[in-house]
Each structure stands twice: as structure tokens, then as C-alpha cells.
Amino acid sequence: MIDEALVKHIAHLARLDLSSSEQAKIQKDLSSILDYIAKLNEIDVKETKPFRSAALLHNIMRADEAVSESPQTNQKIKDQFPHQEESFLKVKTIL
Amino acid sequence: MISKQLTISQIHQGLLNKDFSAKELAEHYLDRIQEEESKIAAFLLVSKDLALKQAEEADKKIASGEDLPLLSGVPCGIKDAILAEGLLCTAGSLILENYKAPYDATCVAKLRSQGAVILGKTNLDEFAMGSSTEHSAFKVTKNPHDLERVPGGTSGGSAAAVAADECVFSLGSDTGGSIRQPASFCGAVGLKPTYGAVSRYGLIAHASSLDQIGPLAKTVNDCEIVFKAIKGRDLKDSTSTDCEATQTANRGLNNAIIGIPKEYFGEGLEKETRDIIKRAIKKAEKAGAKIEEISLPHSEYALACYYLIVTSEASANLARFDGIRYGLSEQGNDLFDVYFKSRGNGFGAEVKRRIMLGTFALSSGYYDAYYLKAQKVRTLVRQDFNEAFKNVDFVFTPVSPFPAFKIGEKVDDPLKMYLSDVLTVPISLAGVPALSLPVGKDGRLPVGMQIIGRHFDENGIFQIAKEIEEIIL
């Protein structure tokens, strides 16, 4: 069921450049993994609610206050920008 | 003279008695790393300058006669998915090869405030995806007990560094077994805490509903000391909590009821591993524990369920690596081109495979049949554990169906690699705590027993594990 077109579609959704040999390998791997996962069809979950971790605990609230990091930390984060102009993050044109 | 395999308490006493200084200790471990690394390859980065500076600070504290926290001067390794300010943090990936951590993870800040000495960053499977540390983009870590075998994964560097005595303890992270399985393969003690017990702030996210940071060490007591130092609620991680166990098994082996789930001793479990675990269970019984066979009926579906959830969450978490704010940024004609090329060139094969599977499971038309179904099965897996813990205090199982496998044996077959997590992932899906305790050897290779407790009952696990540690030796 995982054909070449589906692999291409998923790679596009995931924003992944894949070579044709990578595509072929992933098509094969995903097929065998999904064959294994088909095991889940043996169980009836019609009456089962999906897991939600929030349902197990209680809400943890805090005041909705802005917390600013130190200028040093801000600078260290900016130092990681691949492209920068003045203190701005530089990206390609979006539209 | 600094002896081998020192524990945290021995170091604490040694520092207080002035048998050695923190600086001598740090130098000793830096020498150990120098000696062992050409064989073991556990570290991606050795932070010599930082370690020596921290050791000097610990020595000043000792000289001043101030109260000395237990971890002061104790040399440790940190898994390279956990941020330590000023040090590179690669997550084992080319996409973060030059990424320098701008701040500390909460657990690292807590270790620093106790005065622990950071020796370096340990190797892992890329973005903590794997079971052998072979998926690291940088090096293959070897198992100190047999250099032709894997140390397990994904915290393979952390486990191997402890086993080779290149550090006293280390931090790892566990999504589906990534602390417990390498601890088992390397003969270390490793704890995956209850989900929520330790802040995940500063851990590079893999699957956020499953990830937990935890300690690997040489003894249960050391594991406990480190866990107590890093646990607790953190405002920067809203899933962290100070919860205590509602029902505690805070009683010795003598009074404990231990459940043995039949599903964990079936097909696929190697005979030698089974025999070693059965012997350990017998010893616990002799020491007074009541042993009961139980059933966790949805165990056989846990692995399939896990690989849908883990890849779905990972595909969303890894969307942030897009070549824009940090990490590898390839040149492109337009924004899309930058995304595709940076991610295409920066991620390794296993990471791409998982992003693809996760994106598929979440995509329109497939969501209900895959992701939603897996979330429902997860409810059933969790209910199994809740039911079991109504009648038993602990559950004992093997950590892995087999001991450390050969380097290269499974790396080309993803499903085969995934199947090695079959005994650890159900525990992760349920969110309960579990500790891997070395209980024997198959030839040269260590075998760990998994001690699973109720939510937030780490104390009960430590107590019982210490008793078993005594009677196994």
C-alpha cells in the first residue's frame, strides 16, 4: 500500500529532500513496519478512549506573566542564528 | 591513589577526609577517559577546562569548611541530548554538529548547583532514535564488556562511560528503554523515572509524552542520590510535578508482593537471560517476597502502538530543525529549498525513516487508522499496569530479550532493531518508573532485571533494588 507516489507525498509534507535510493529504501522499510503494525487490528478499541496524559493528572496553573531571559542568554541564542542582520534573524523571502 | 569504581558516598567521604582533592579526582577521571576512549568511544566531547574549574570550586568549598553537598566534586557524563550551557550539544546529529547550548537543562543546573563536575557529553543514537548507539552520526560506542558488541542505546555513551569507569555516574534519557536497555547491556544501574518526576527542560525533544531524564550509575544508592538531586517540579516544564506515590510500597523485600507477567517470559526471550532473571526472582522469594504470576494482556500490542506514537511525536518535534534558527542551514533558492536541503542533508537514515513514518501516521486519511488507534491501545496498556498494581507492589521482568548484540547485527533492519525494545516500551507507554539492575552474566555479558513500580514510587524501587543488589552479589 506504500507506493512511490505516497512516499513522495509524505516526504513533501515532512519537508525532506530524499534521493531516489533513499525513497526506495524507505518505501520498503515503511511497508515492513506497517505490516507489523497491522497487528493492532486484532484488538477491538471501539469502546476505548484515546490516551490523554492530561486525564491522569490535574492542571498545573501559574500566573500568566512574561518572564524574560537574561540579555546574556538572549545573546547566546542569537549567536546560533545561521544568518543574521544587525540583531535580527535573516530568512529568505516568504511570499 | 584513587581506587577504581568509586561510589558517590566513597568520594564524598574521601573528599571530606582529604584522601584526595576534587581536582585530583577530576584529573584521575580525565586520565581514565584518555586511556579508555580509543577503545570505548563513549564521549562526543570532553570538557576538560570546565571539569577542572568545577573541581577547583569544589576544593575551595571543602577548604572553607562549608557543608558539602553529596555530589560536590563528583565527576559525571551528560548525554549529548541534554543542554549544558557553553558546551556543544549535537544530539548525535550532523544537523546540530556546531550547536552550542545557550543555557542549562534544569537537571544540569541542579547538578551544577550541587557542585558536580561535568567531564563531557556522551554519545547517543541520533536524536535518541535507536537501540544500539550505532545511529550516532559521529562514532560507534563499544560495549566495555565485549568491544565487538553494542553498548545498547540510545544512552549507550552514558552507560559505557559508567561501565568503563570513565565517570562516576551519568545522565541519560529514556523514551522507550534508552536508559534501561544500555544499563542492562553494560552492567550499570539505570532508572527511568515516572513520567513527570524530572523536568525535561533542556532535553532535546524526541517524543514529549514519553521522554524522561534519569541517572545511570554503578550502584542503586548512587542512582538514588542522583535522582533525588534532579527530580521535582520545574516552572519551565509544565509536565513536571512534585507528586508523591498515592500508594507506596515503602516496605522491604520481606513484605513485598512481586508480579511476574507471563507475557514477558514467552517466545523470543533467550534461555540464558530467562534463567538469570528466574534465579534472581527465586532469590527475592527466598528473602521473603511473595511471588505471583500475573498477566499484562496487551503487552504484545505495545511495541506496534509505541512505534506509531513515538514517530508521530518525533515528526512534530523535529519540525523545528529547518535551517532557520540554529543548526545546519543549507543554501537554497527559496525558503522551501532551504528547508528541504537542510533537513535532507542534516538528518541521518533512521531519523528520516521515523519522520516519514510519523508524518504518515498523522497525515490526512491515515490519522484515525494509525495515530488515533495507537492512542487507544495506549490506554489499554496503561490499564493493564493499573490493574496489576492493585494486587502487587512491583513487577519484575527482563530488560531485554537478549544481552548485548554484535555491532552491525541489526543496524540495516529497522524492524529487527525495534523488536529489541519489546520489554521496555510498555512501561514507557504506562508512564510508570522502572529500574534496570544487573543480576547476572551470560558469559561476559551483563543481564539486567527490570524492576517496575507504581507511579512515583521510586523510593519503593530503590529500597527493594538495594536488597536484591545485596543478595545477588
Nearest of B323, B455, B334 to residue B394 by alpha carbon: B455
**Confidence check: pLDDT of B147 > 60:** yes
Cβ neighbours around B226 below 10 Å, total: 29
Confidence of residue B247 (pLDDT cuts 50, 70, 90): low
**Confidence check: pLDDT of B295 > 60:** yes
The partner residue sitting opposite A37, judged by closest CB among B235, B304, B345, is B304
| CA–CA separation, B292 and B279 (whole Å) | 15
Please name the residues between 65 and 84 in chain A that touch chain B, using a CB distance below 8 Å.
69, 73, 76-77, 79-83
The partner residue sitting opposite A45, judged by closest CB among B85, B325, B376, is B376
Cross-chain Cβ contact A57/B196 below 8 Å:
yes
- What strands lie across the sheet with B394-398, from one edge to the other? B43-46, B117-122, B75-79, B169-174, B212-217, B189-192, B434-442, B445-452, B394-398, B257-261, B290-294
Cβ neighbours around A72 below 10 Å, total: 11
**Confidence check: pLDDT of B54 > 90:** yes
State which residue of chain A sits closest to B363, comparing Cα positions.
A10
Looking at residue B218, its pLDDT comes to: 98
State which residue of chain A sits closest to B102, comparing Cα positions.
A76
Confidence of residue B252 (pLDDT cuts 50, 70, 90): confident
- Dihedral sign from CA coordinates of B352, B358, B360, B363: negative
Contact list, A49 vs chain B (CB under 8 Å)? 376, 379
C-alpha cell at A34: 506497517
Continuous segment of H or E residues that includes residue B314: helix B299-317
| CA–CA separation, B130 and B266 (whole Å) | 24
Tell me, yes or no, if A43 comes closer than 8 A to chain B by beta carbon: yes
Nearest of B85, B114, B112, B113 to residue B101 by alpha carbon: B85
Looking at residue B135, its pLDDT comes to: 98
Bridge partners, residue B118, by sequence: B76
Nearest of B92, B69, B72, B95 to residue B82 by alpha carbon: B92
Given the C-alpha cell 521515523, which residue does it identify?
B354
Q: Please, what are the domains in chain B?
A: 1-473 (3.90.1300.10)
Confidence of residue B152 (pLDDT cuts 50, 70, 90): very high
- B103-136 residue pLDDT tens: 999 999 999 999 999 999 999 999 999 999 999 9
Give me the mean pLDDT over the B222-230 stretch: 98
- B421-467 residue pLDDT tens: 999 999 999 999 999 999 999 999 999 999 999 999 999 999 999 99
Confidence of residue B384 (pLDDT cuts 50, 70, 90): very high
- B380 contacts A50 by C-beta, under 8 angstroms: no
Looking at residue B250, its pLDDT comes to: 59
| CA–CA separation, B149 and B157 (whole Å) | 13
Is the omega angle on the peptide bond into residue B154 within 30 degrees of 0, that is, cis?
yes
> CA angle B395-B370-B132, nearest 5°?
55
Which residues neighbour B466 within 8 Å (Cβ) at sequence distance 6 or greater? Answer: B220, B221
Tell me, yes or no, if A88 comes closer than 8 A to chain B by beta carbon: no
Looking at residue B460, its pLDDT comes to: 94
- A14-69 residue pLDDT tens: 999 999 999 999 999 999 999 999 999 999 999 999 987 644 566 777 788 888 88
- Whole-model pTM: value is 0.97
Q: Tell me the ipTM for this assembly.
A: 0.94
Looking at residue B303, its pLDDT comes to: 97
Cross-chain Cβ contact A10/B360 below 8 Å:
yes
Looking at residue A53, its pLDDT comes to: 64
Give me the mean pLDDT over the B312-337 stretch: 96
Cross-chain Cβ contact A16/B343 below 8 Å:
yes
| Amino acid making up residue A84 | Q
Contact list, A69 vs chain B (CB under 8 Å)? 103
- A60 contacts B238 by C-beta, under 8 angstroms: yes
Give me the mean pLDDT over the B287-316 stretch: 97
Query: What percentage of chain B carries pLDDT values higher than 90?
Result: 95
Tell me, yes or no, if A39 comes closer than 8 A to chain B by beta carbon: yes
- B356 contacts A34 by C-beta, under 8 angstroms: no
Q: How many residues does chain B have?
A: 473
Q: How close B336 comes to chain A (CA, Å)? A: 8
Mutation target to probe the B interface, by most B beta carbons within 10 A, among A18, A27, A37 is A37
- B58-97 residue pLDDT tens: 999 999 999 999 999 999 999 999 999 999 999 999 999 9
Looking at residue A57, its pLDDT comes to: 61
